[in-house]
Amino acid sequence: MHIARTLDDLRAHLAPLGGVAFVPTMGNLHEGHIALVRQARRHGQTVVASIFVNRLQFLPHEDFDTYPRTWESDCAQLRAAGCDVLFAPDERALYPEPQTCKVHPDPAVADILEGHFRPGFFTGVCTVVAKLFNCVQPRAALFGQKDYQQVMVVRHMVRQLAMPVEIVACDTLRAADGLALSSRNGYLSAAERAEAVQLSAVLRGMADAVRAGDRDFDAIEQRATTALAARGWQPDYLALRRRSDLLAPVPGDALVALGAARLGSTRLIDNLEIDA
């Protein structure tokens, strides 16, 4: 696995290679990331991953400085998964001057849910993803569906800006008890880890209510919020939205249940598409 620290090195190494499939990450890798790397081989001849903790997508009170950096473990996992190239720039390499030119996504999809509770988050995401796409020039980029809204925002950006990149959304990987794999799960204490599965359980309960014929979506959301709060969580949202654009649904729409809530000091997100 070649490790490129600078853009010049990356471009020189990739120049003779073809068909790049790209997995952008912030490091602290888990099996969900590695599954994306393994699947990337189906979408290109050359598999490139990146590790870059992107300051632009963290709010001032969030965990940029304490976000886990696990370089040796990350490299070992990527090598074992067959990654060909790792792009691991420092901030000076990727942002050699203040990044005053930014990508502001469509507010209709970016200022709701995650974007409402983390204002500016998706501007940071789109700016770094667009820049990484320009650096790597992939034919396909793979993202985990746990970040459901993020995938939608990035896909919308790619379509609007006519970027020649296929966005591939891959299924969320879960632990045996149903908890979605996340780098931030490492922040959880043992007791919090045992409790954390309740987020996916509440989303399943919302989905079960819809499948049973309940169409009072506001009431379903309120019951879920109350149930999670009663267990000591601090919910940001538990929402039923239509899959096509994450707007409020009407009966007949294909739905997704999405949730974000804080357990102790750790904020977790998850989602569940609801089959008819």
List residues with catalytic annotation.
33
Residues 267, 204: contact at Cβ < 8 Å?
no
User: How far, CA to CA in Å, does 202 sit from each of 118, 228, 231?
Assistant: 22, 7, 11
Q: What type of residue is 215? A: R
Both tokens of residue 107? Answer: 């507010």
Q: 257, 252, 234, 254: which is closest to 243 by C-alpha? A: 254
Q: How far apart are CA 155 and CA 15, in angstroms?
A: 26
Burial class (CB in 10 A: 0-12, 13-18, 19+), 54: buried
Q: What type of residue is 276? A: A
10 Å Cβ neighbour count for 79? 11
Both tokens of residue 88? Answer: 């691991």
